[in-house]
Amino acid sequence: MKRKVQFSLVYRDMWQSSGKFQPRKDQLAKIAPVIIEMGCFARVETNGGAFEQVNLLAGENPNEAVRAFCKPFNEAGIQTHMLDRGLNALRMYPVPDDVRKLMYKVKAKQGTNITRIFCGLNDVRNIIPSIKYAKEGGMIPQATLCITNSPIHTAEYYSNIADQLIAAGAPEICLKDMAGIGQPAMLGKLCGMIKKNHPEVIVQYHGHSGPGLSMASILEVCNNGCDIIDTAIEPLSWGKVHPDIISVQSMLKNEGFDVPEINMNAYMKARTMTQEFIDEWLGHFINPANKHMTSLLLGCGLPGGMMGSMMADLGGIQAAINGIRKQKGEPELTTDDMLVALFNEVEYVWPMVGYPPLVTPFSQYVKNIALMNLLTMAQGKGRFQMMDDSMWGMILGKSGKVPGTIAPEIIELAKQKGKEFTDIDPHTLYPNALEDFKKEMKENGWDFGQDDEELFELAMHPEQYRNYKSGQAKKNFEADLQKAQEKKLVAQGISPAQLSEFKHAKADAVVAPVDGQIFYEFQGCSEAVAAIEPAIGQKYEEGDLLCYIQAKWGEFVKVPATLGGKLVEIAAKRGSHVHRGETIAWIEREA
């Protein structure tokens, strides 16, 4: 029998690569014991990346969710790991050093053992500080190589980066094949080089299944010394996500590796439970296209998880381009025509901007440049005419050094626009900020939280955290969820009239007691004139104030929310006039 290979379950990334949101705290706590019962996982990915932002957007406290999810694994001796974007930490833009340092202290206390540190450009300057910060905070730093397929990204190129990261103190290396386009032979060679040079270093492979190469890549890296393989479980495995644990285990077992057995009864329970989460609400935010594999990703190199947002963006550009073509008397382009054009444009743009690995956020930047190029070319303006500061930041070196060479025409365009290239260490551009956030917490009377975790949350995600604290995030989420539910019903053939009847079936109508003009209360404000409409999904207790009506004689008449419940529809908008007996809103009583 060959050597031992272990498995990790990427439960966070399963959801991240499928849709927008993550399971709630109670759902995560519910499934954790079942994952443990499966008996085949040495590690589980519990948080990181967009996990915290989407928790905040849903009105949930991510710190509580991380603690609740990590605790059972900690007790069972299963390691937990998170995704960390290096300079950007847990968000899409750079994070000051003092906030990054605090992150590792907080996450270690919350029960996260390993941090997977990556830079979308593979610039070691964005990774090495985090290796140090993670160790100081009590975490295991897993340095990451973002895998892509270009003339520059050879096994030798990556092996050299791995040498630097290991010399800086990384005890582990992750091969992050975020688009699943890494060629199996190259990955096997790279893994072999790392293990030959550093036999003591743990190597973990993370490959998405989008274009279909991942199973071959897993076999190659395992035959060249890989220690741990990231896997998924149904119903979120395959598609644009990751290979399923059953298939991976079967393949490696047949190859002669020492792999753990799977408790299939527990697997089926976890599968059923995950489907329940989808059916309850998470499925409303999952793009069906992400459940399908596609070889088209091989040409453009874009991560499969981007397909949903990319198709939405493409639709808007398609309408604009077809409007221009119609004016010229040219035939309109189909969605397939546009998709091929976009992929071709990405292939053209990518080397021009220095072959940045197509991972967050650089995959978005390259895709956006290509999209804008399609539009400006249709307008007769040529390429590279609509690039924002983020796109230019990547090109100019403000996010790190791109691995390739910037095309001369883009260098000339930068010169014309008065933009300057830099080779400065990116983290030096962002001054420390914790003291300002501490001041804001104190002024608002907000608790810093256990191990300063609430302070960290504000510092890492300022806008989302403020909306979470005000309650606005929860209102927005419930409104979005209701819209998503209604959209699904319409897709199933429910007419608008039937939908209205369906919504009102279990709801009470709040009617106007007098003629007059509608004003809504906002966040407890007693001044009706300062009010705006509440969000759909807002909840009321019996007798709570819903709105005011300014009667014809000037008096403000209070209108209560009847027996309380959840607001499902507003029939009378703010400022509108109603007659006595007309419906103002519908409120569904809680079961």
CATH number at residue 526: 2.40.50.100
Q: Are residues 53 and 40 in the same domain?
A: yes
**Cα–Cα nearest to 148, from 101, 181, 103, 112:** 181
Q: Are residues 463 and 559 in the same domain?
A: no
Mean pLDDT of 5-30: 95
DSSP assignment of 224-283: TT--EEEEB-TTSSSTTS--BHHHHHHHHHHTT-B-----HHHHHHHHHHHHHHHHHTGG
**What was the pLDDT predicted at 351?**
94
**What was the pLDDT predicted at 491?**
74
Long-range contacts of residues 569-572, Cβ cutoff 8 Å, at least 24 apart: 569/500, 569/503, 569/504, 569/507, 569/536, 570/533, 570/534, 570/536, 572/512, 572/518
Lowest mean pLDDT among 299-303, 553-557, 574-578: 299-303
What does the H/E/C string look like for 197-238? HCCCCEEEEEECCCCCCHHHHHHHHHCCCCCEEEEECCCCCC
pLDDT tens per residue, range 242-277: 999 999 999 999 999 999 999 999 999 999 999 999
Q: Are residues 447 and 500 in the same domain?
A: no
SS3 30: helix
Integer CA distances (angstroms), 508 to 92, 503, 504, 585, 590, in order = 43, 10, 7, 8, 11
> Is the pLDDT confidence value at 428 over 80?
yes
Q: Which two tokens stand for residue 188?
A: 């096997």
* Dihedral class, residue 146 (left if φ above 0, else alpha if ψ from -120 to 50, else beta): beta
Residue 578 structural domain: 496-588
Q: Would you say residue 95 lies in a domain?
A: no
Q: Would you say residue 488 lies in a domain?
A: no
Q: Evaluate the omega torsion of the peptide bond into residue 534 and state whether it is cis, within 30 degrees of 0.
A: no
Question: Quick one: pLDDT band at residue 522, thresholds 50, 70, 90?
Answer: very low
Q: Report the side by side order of strands in the sheet with 539-540.
A: 507-511, 583-588, 565-570, 539-540
**What was the pLDDT predicted at 591?**
61
> Where does a domain end: 294, 314, 345?
294
What is the distance, to the nearest Å, from the Cα of residue 550 to the centroid of all Cα atoms in its chain? 45
Q: Which letter does DSSP use for residue 515 in this model? A: S
Mean pLDDT of 280-288: 89
Which residues have C-beta within 8 Å of that of residue 392, sequence separation ≥ 6? Answer: 414, 419
pLDDT tens per residue, range 397-416: 999 999 999 999 999 999 99
Q: Would you say residue 124 lies in a domain?
A: no
**What was the pLDDT predicted at 493?**
76
Q: Would you say residue 379 lies in a domain?
A: yes
> Is the pLDDT confidence value at 310 over 90?
no
Q: Are residues 284 and 322 in the same domain?
A: no
**What residue has token string 């381009």?**
321
> Using an 8 Å Cβ cutoff, are 208 and 305 in contact?
yes
Q: Which two tokens stand for residue 411?
A: 């260098």
Phi/psi for 499 (5° steps) reads -65, -45
Mean pLDDT of 530-550: 79
Q: Are residues 286 and 306 in the same domain?
A: no
Q: Are residues 504 and 434 in the same domain?
A: no
DSSP assignment of 390-428: HHHHHHHTSS---SS-B-HHHHHHHHHTT-------GGG
**What residue has token string 């090495």?**
128
Mean pLDDT, rounded, of the chain: 91
pLDDT tens per residue, range 92-112: 889 999 999 999 999 999 999
- Per mean pLDDT, which of 438-442, 518-522, 533-537, 550-554 is the most reliable? 438-442
Mean pLDDT of 419-446: 95
Phi/psi for 48 (5° steps) reads 110, 180
What is the distance, to the nearest Å, from the Cα of residue 56 to the centroid of all Cα atoms in its chain? 12
Q: Are residues 338 and 399 in the same domain?
A: yes
> Is the pLDDT confidence value at 282 over 50?
yes
Partners of 585 in beta bridges: 510, 570
* Dihedral class, residue 122 (left if φ above 0, else alpha if ψ from -120 to 50, else beta): left
Distance CA 59, CA 436 (A): 24
**What residue has token string 């290991």?**
166
Q: Which letter does DSSP use for residue 59 in this model? A: T
Angle at which helices 245-254 and 214-222 pack, to 10 degrees? 40
Number of domains in the chain: 4
Phi/psi for 575 (5° steps) reads 90, -10
Question: Quick one: pLDDT band at residue 309, thresholds 50, 70, 90?
Answer: low
pLDDT tens per residue, range 187-218: 999 999 999 999 999 999 999 999 999 999 99
Q: Are residues 366 and 466 in the same domain?
A: no
End-to-end CA distance of the chain: 58
Q: Are residues 327 and 445 in the same domain?
A: no
> Is the pLDDT confidence value at 530 over 70?
no
Q: Would you say residue 92 lies in a domain?
A: no
Q: Would you say residue 168 lies in a domain?
A: no
Q: Which two tokens stand for residue 582?
A: 């007309």
Distance CA 11, CA 461 (A): 22
Burial of 141-156, coded b for 16+ CB within 10 Å and e otherwise, reads bbbbbbbbbbeebebe
Q: Would you say residue 359 lies in a domain?
A: yes
> Using an 8 Å Cβ cutoff, are 48 and 62 in contact?
no
Q: Are residues 408 and 312 in the same domain?
A: yes
Question: Quick one: pLDDT band at residue 532, thresholds 50, 70, 90?
Answer: low
> Is the pLDDT confidence value at 298 over 70?
yes
Q: Would you say residue 79 lies in a domain?
A: yes
Mean pLDDT of 229-238: 97
Question: Quick one: pLDDT band at residue 525, thresholds 50, 70, 90?
Answer: very low
Q: Are residues 407 and 318 in the same domain?
A: yes
Phi/psi for 308 (5° steps) reads -60, -55
Burial of 286-318, coded b for 16+ CB within 10 Å and e otherwise, reads bbeebeebeeebbebbbbbbbbbebbebbeebb
Q: Are residues 412 and 512 in the same domain?
A: no
Percentage of the chain lying above the pLDDT 90 cut: 66
Q: Which two tokens stand for residue 546?
A: 């819903």
Specify the DSSP element, H or E, that contains 369.
helix 362-378
**Cα–Cα nearest to 513, from 572, 473, 469:** 572
Q: Which two tokens stand for residue 169?
A: 């103190």
- Per mean pLDDT, which of 345-359, 360-374, 435-449, 566-580 is the most reliable? 435-449
Integer CA distances (angstroms), 13 to 34, 50, 150, 239, 279, in order = 18, 9, 25, 13, 19
**What was the pLDDT predicted at 37?**
98
Long-range contacts of residues 250-253, Cβ cutoff 8 Å, at least 24 apart: 251/215, 251/218, 251/219, 252/5, 252/218, 252/219, 252/222
